[in-house]
Amino acid sequence: MTEQHRPVIRLLPKANARAIRHGFPWVYANEVVADRRTKAIAPGAIAQLQDNDRRPMATVAVNPGSKIFCRVLDRDPEAVVDSDWLIARLRAAFSLRQHLFDAPYYRLVHAEADGLPGLVIDRFGDAAVMQPNAAWADAMCEQIHTALAEVTGVKTVIKNGTGRARGLEGLPEETLVMSGGVDAPLPVPMNGATYMADLMGGQKTGLFFDQRPNHAFAASLSKDAAVLDVFSHVGGFALAALAGGAASALSVDSSAAALELATSGAKAAGLAGRFSTRKGDAFDTLAALAAENAQFDVVICDPPAFAPSKPALEAGLRAYERIARLAAPLVKPGGFLGLCSCSHAADLAKFRGASVRGIGRAGRQAQLIHTGFAGPDHPLMPQLAESGYLKALFFRLLP
């Protein structure tokens, strides 16, 4: 399609054109003139966004089947979104990570915050996993793959096309190897620990890089400590704590496969003698540990998103409160409790309130000693609150 024939999307008078001009990256379906022409545009097509007075504003990717009708790709209304454009965006993202990390294990592309809306790419040495969670990125998968290999030199690229975000975009679920191959979980060094990342069958891209600084802070509290890591996945907090000198760590998760990977990571780092696992529902296991009069110096709970959307917010906050209420009795007097949320809909104040209520309902008093967020390879787009999804609260429970 030539630039002259690029589709045009026009804002309604009620749309907040000022917010878009100031950097907000989304245009919702109820903000655009949605006639038969615009509704017929293919998902993922590139278009020009115009304000109500037909003044060009930006180059956007369109998905008529999504509540996010347009995603802003470029502030230049005439920008050409092609391989050169992709390479430029990837080089900018790659440059930041090279400044931040000595080893090539990080989130390389964090969607809107890196100017590639809806696209997530995590790097694991010579391998990368891409999640095209927007229609335009899914349509340009091959070009992204080629540009990614050129910019970073990775040999293996895996497309992980699963998850809630793709469903909201009307995209099918699929996981495929685009180049290279992986025949076993990959060891990933982080915070002195070794994590085993299953790039083909694990959660998300295989590992959660966003918690890196929070793992490190928890480890700083854990020297000679007995540590409980609930919703452990592949051993995130537990293995970091052991690497930081913890006396012991127990990982709890409902996934046997995740706990097997955690055990493999502990063995790879020579930490297996101080590491143990317990498979089970987190709520049930916390209650069972209390019944066993178990006590720990450090307890960390890092659950999945209990409030992934606004309709789920109240139920999610009740779940966060319940986790805090069940976890607090397991903390020794003067010990530490870490509570995490990756829910977009639960902002920091609401999550903190739910956590404090839960601790109080458990009959404990607490000092909030640290608030953590995602690492710098997960930059926050200031105009988009959703990009700052991760919160980690660390409390000292008073004797």
pLDDT tens digits, one per residue of 141-153: 999 999 999 999 9
Question: Within the chain, which residue ranges are assigned CATH 2.30.130.10?
Answer: 3-74
User: Is the pLDDT confidence value at 299 over 80?
Assistant: yes
Percentage of the residues of the chain whose pLDDT score is greater than 90: 90
**CATH code at 3-74:** 2.30.130.10
pLDDT tens digits, one per residue of 24-77: 999 999 999 988 999 899 999 999 999 999 999 999 999 999 999 999 999 999
Which amino acid does the sequence have at 245?
A: G
Looking at residue 353, its pLDDT comes to: 98
Cα 24 from Cα 8, distance rounded (Å): 19
Backbone angles phi, psi at 185, to 5 degrees: -55, 145
Looking at residue 1, its pLDDT comes to: 40
Task: Please give the average per-residue pLDDT across 326-350, as a whole number.
Answer: 96
380: helix, coil or strand? coil
User: Is the pLDDT confidence value at 2 over 90?
Assistant: no
- pLDDT band, very low/low/confident/very high, at 92 (cuts 50, 70, 90): very high
* 56-62 β-sheet, strand order: 8-10, 46-50, 56-62, 68-74, 26-28
Cα 292 from Cα 303, distance rounded (Å): 22
Q: pTM, whole model, 2 decimals?
A: 0.94
Point out the catalytic residue in the list 70, 301, 340, 342: 342
User: Is the pLDDT confidence value at 3 over 50?
Assistant: no
Q: Return the CATH fold of 83-179.
A: Transcription Regulator spoIIAA (3.30.750)
Task: Please give the average per-residue pLDDT across 286-300, as a whole number.
Answer: 98
Q: Is 340 a catalytic residue?
A: no
Task: Please give the average per-residue pLDDT across 263-283, as a whole number.
Answer: 97
SS3 content of the chain, % helix, strand, coil (to 5): 35, 30, 35
CATH superfamily, domain 194-397, is: Vaccinia Virus protein VP39 (3.40.50.150)
Looking at residue 164, its pLDDT comes to: 86
Whole-number mean pLDDT of the chain? 95
User: Is the pLDDT confidence value at 136 over 80?
Assistant: yes
- pLDDT band, very low/low/confident/very high, at 214 (cuts 50, 70, 90): very high
pLDDT tens digits, one per residue of 146-188: 999 999 999 999 999 998 889 889 999 999 999 999 999 999 9
Task: Please give the average per-residue pLDDT across 91-103, as a whole number.
Answer: 97
